[in-house]
Amino acid sequence: MAEVAQHPPVVTTPVSGPLAVRLRRLGEIVRQVLRNPVTVIGLVIIVLMFTMALLAPVITTPNEPNPYQMPRDWSALNEPPGTPGHPLGTTAHGGDVLYGIIWGSRTSLRLSLIVVGVTVTIGTIVGSLAGYLGGKVDEFLMRVVDIFLAIPELIFALAIAAMLGPSFTNIILALAVVYWVKYARIIRGQIMHIKQNDYVDSARVIGDSKFHIYAKDVLPNSFTPVMVQATMDMGSIVLVGATLSFIGLAEAGLAEWGVLVSEGQVGISTGRWWASTFPGLMIFLWALAFNLVGDGLRDVLDPRTESR
Amino acid sequence: MTATAFADTTSGRSGVGLVASVQDLSIHFQTKTGMLHAVDEVSFDIRDGETLGLVGETGCGKSVTARAFMRLVATPPGVYAGGRIDFWSSETRAAGGGPVNLLTIPEDEMLGIRGNRIAMIFQDPGKALNPALSIGDQLAEVFYQHRSDELLDPLGPGTPAVVRRAARQEATRVEKILLKVPPLRSQANRVKAAVDDRVAAALADTQIPNPGKIMDRYPHELSAGMKQRVLIAQALACDPDLLIADEPTTALDVTVQARILELIAELLDRHDTSVLYISHDLALVRGMCDRVAVMYAGRIVEIGLTEEVFSDPLHPYTRGLMNAVPSSAHRRGALTAIIGSVPELIDPEPSCRFNTRCPYAAGVCRRLDPRFLRHTLEHGVVCHAHDDPAALAARPDEMPSFARVDDAR
């Protein structure tokens, strides 16, 4: 550009590079999120749950050889909360409720992170191909998505998990197979909307390639609803996972909240409430916390959509 | 069909003195009820250094014509039904090369032309900037895209391949991380600094105060006028041969509009860029353009030097447009609107598209496409009435039979 020489040298302030700008923006978002007290409550619960999950080997003595399996104390069946050595009581099979809850948070964390990670990735790829390329690709992929959507989520996951045999890994697999469809739809819709924007034309007009426009203009502007949905799903996937393990699709005796609830359910009618109530409460808190944060995120990131 | 083939015979076909030449361009859109002829055998030339105004009402096809230069018409539903757009870039011309047809060259060649040899400014600056990128990052795109070699020049021949790839925006995620690590980092930073200098200079060119600060801003933090300046800076960054301005001031309020127009005029003068200026604002076109082409319902109906067209409008539609513009010459309340609205353009029969609204319409106007008639060396019109010079003076019910035109076909 010949004009460069004609101008006096322009000084760009070195203090505020793009990174600083980005951090400033992130700071703004965090501040806005924290302005909502309900979101803060959700965040606090999540932080506590995560801490519990991470510190599980420290605050309990891990059961050898497999710490994810609940230790059985056959000398202490159906002990109420407050029993020495079993602060939250034991199940009918001598499982320590506190141990189950603490290691259950670890199981839940693993479940939700893996399922959300895998489904968001698959959903983004499929949704992007469909939405960005359009035409026959879109037509084909969306018919595949329709097939998945035609079967109710829970029933579909249950069928897959049952087919693969009872194991927690299979539950994770089943949920991953079922849940990506939702993200594919969200991303596709967003991309079809975003690619109509003038700034996409504007990018084409300066000579950007199609893929570069996708990575720079289309995807970053399409992603916020996915982040909100993923946060919500971090909660609901644990709920569905617990449902599947409650009906016996996980290994027996796994330190998992659904398994624990199912072990305790026989005692509910005879007054032994603790074995089901405490893990049930954990599932409730987990799902609630992620929903609160998800709502808060939506208000900040995507103010135009009303909360459902 | 040569009947409407509106050859802009006012300039030579040799390519000397031309930047672009549109010939018989037809763009149709597939709709449920049939083919919509949005642009119908349009021809015109853009001469070196001139500003050509393309005027017409909403939906007459002027934006579609403009977007065709960038191959921006979405296909489907759009169909490039025929014709060509020849473009002489200063680069190929310097090398003694001929024109390229913008509609048929491969996509990778097109990428090298877009933003580099042909630039475009859009109507609504509020929508034309990516909300997720800072102004500086956004403008840097043009330089990375088209000037990566110049950016790497000062680094010398020993520059690592990774840095080169980064400057061409071909670096993968892993490589981007590598570039943050010391030995490569300093070189990557030098490229970045070189880009920043150019971006700041481009912004300064559009008289934006404090470009260094603006670069760190996001689009939502700027006013519409500022955003349009940023887009102008982006468009002119690579010194294009042709600028397509699609109603660049329509979305701005009047005071800002005036200043942006001044800026555009001044910059074009300095950069010596040819312009296709699209507008529905006749007064504005009169002030900005050297020549004017009037479009109606997908066709060009009149073209000529600005003074000629404004002092002696030939086509009834052009006259109608001018009567509908308020001016100091008119008395209050004397504005006349053109009766009716634009006809349906789905699978049209041969006819003059204006016949439904034309006060002079005769039988032939409903049956035959009018042809291009040259009035003076520069001034041409597409109208049956002008096939017979006496016709326009005659009253509508006394229109001649146009026998001569009929016989000619």
pLDDT tens, B109-140? 888 888 888 888 888 888 888 888 888 888 88
Q: What is the mean pLDDT of residues A220-229?
A: 89
Minimal C-alpha gap between A292 and chain B (Å)? 26
Respond yes or no on whether the N-terminal peptide bond of residue B183 is cis (omega within 30° of 0).
no
Q: What is the CA radius of gyration of chain B?
A: 24
Hey, which residues 85-144 in chain A have their CB within 8 Å of chain B?
135
The answer to whether the Cβ–Cβ distance between B145 and A205 falls below 8 Å is no
CB contact at 8 A, A302 and A224? yes
Contact call for A205 and B112, based on CB within 8 A:
no
Cβ of A307 under 8 Å from any chain B Cβ? no
Residue A90's pLDDT band, with cuts at 50, 70 and 90, is confident
DSSP string, B44-89: EEEETT-EEEEE--TTSSHHHHHHHHTT-S-TTTEEEEEEEEEE--
Q: Residue A5 above 80 pLDDT?
A: no
Contacts of B218 in chain A (CB under 8 A): 25
Q: Which residue has the higher pLDDT, B178 or A255?
A: A255
**Token reading at A117:** 């990670």
B294 neighbors B65 (Cβ within 8 angstroms): no
Q: Which of A1, A7, A197 sits opposite B237 (nearest CB)?
A: A1
Task: Identify the helix (H) or strand (E) that includes residue B40.
Answer: strand B34-47
- CA distance readout (Å), B311 to B306, B314, B319, B323, B376: 8, 10, 10, 12, 13
Mean predicted lDDT score pLDDT of chain A: 85
pLDDT tens-digit map of B61-118? 888 898 888 888 887 788 888 888 888 888 777 777 778 888 888 888 888 888 888 8
B-chain CB neighbours of A209 within 8 Å are 111
pLDDT band at A76 (very low <50, low <70, confident <90, very high): confident
Confidence band of B12 (pLDDT split at 50, 70, 90): very low
Q: Which of B72, B111, B218 sits opposite A207 (nearest CB)?
A: B111
Q: Is the ipTM reported for this complex over the cut 0.85?
A: no
CB atoms within 10 A of CB B157: 6
Does the pTM of the predicted model rise above 0.95? no
Domain boundary assignment for chain A: 33-306
Question: A30-44, B134-148, B180-194, B205-219: which has the highest mean pLDDT?
Answer: A30-44
Q: For chain B, say whether A14 makes contact (Cβ under 8 Å).
A: no
Any CB–CB contact under 8 A between A211 and chain B? no
A172 phi/psi in degrees, rounded to 5: -60, -45
Per-residue pLDDT band for A18 (boundaries 50, 70, 90) equals low
For residue B136, the chain A residues in CB contact (below 8 A) are: 18
Out of A135, A197, A216, the one facing B127 most closely (by C-beta) is A197
CATH for A33-306, among 3.10.100.10, 1.10.3720.10, 1.10.8.350, 3.40.50.300? 1.10.3720.10
Say how many CB pairs under 8 Å bridge A and B.
110
